[in-house]
Amino acid sequence: MKTIKTILFIAGLLILISPVARAADWSPEHKTVFTILTVLNVADIAQTTYIYNHPEEFKEGNPLMTKEAYLPLMVGANILIWWMADKYEDRRSAILYPFAILKGLVVARNASMGVGFSFSF
């Protein structure tokens, strides 16, 4: 089971990163912001994994992020954000910046509470 989860995680990372290569018509600024958002999403995934690997210390605060659902939900959210930013070119900044800022705040808050990073499922 651990091998399957690791393979799914690696596949998810590739899915998260691949839209940047496809976004040929995006400005360098928008590609950078999406890349930052993706890195922060990977950090949040690692923190959520850490939370579930240390249940005696931490509890996931988002009820949608169950142990079984958090990885597909987080990868899916990243894909949805990319799709929206790609589809609505005139609103790209308005889509990317708030999500990147929010994700940065989540990762920073988790870190301030002592949540580490873990990629062992």
pTM of the entire structure?
0.80
| Residue-level pLDDT at 117 | 87
Q: How far apart are CA 74 and CA 36, in angstroms?
A: 15
Confidence of residue 19 (pLDDT cuts 50, 70, 90): low
User: pLDDT tens across 43-72, in order?
Assistant: 999 999 999 999 999 999 889 889 888 888
| Residue-level pLDDT at 118 | 84
Look up residue 48 and give its two tokens: 């959520």
The answer for residues whose C-beta is within 8 angstroms of residue 50's C-beta and 6 or more apart is 58, 115, 116, 117, 118
Q: What percent of the chain is modeled with pLDDT above 90?
A: 49
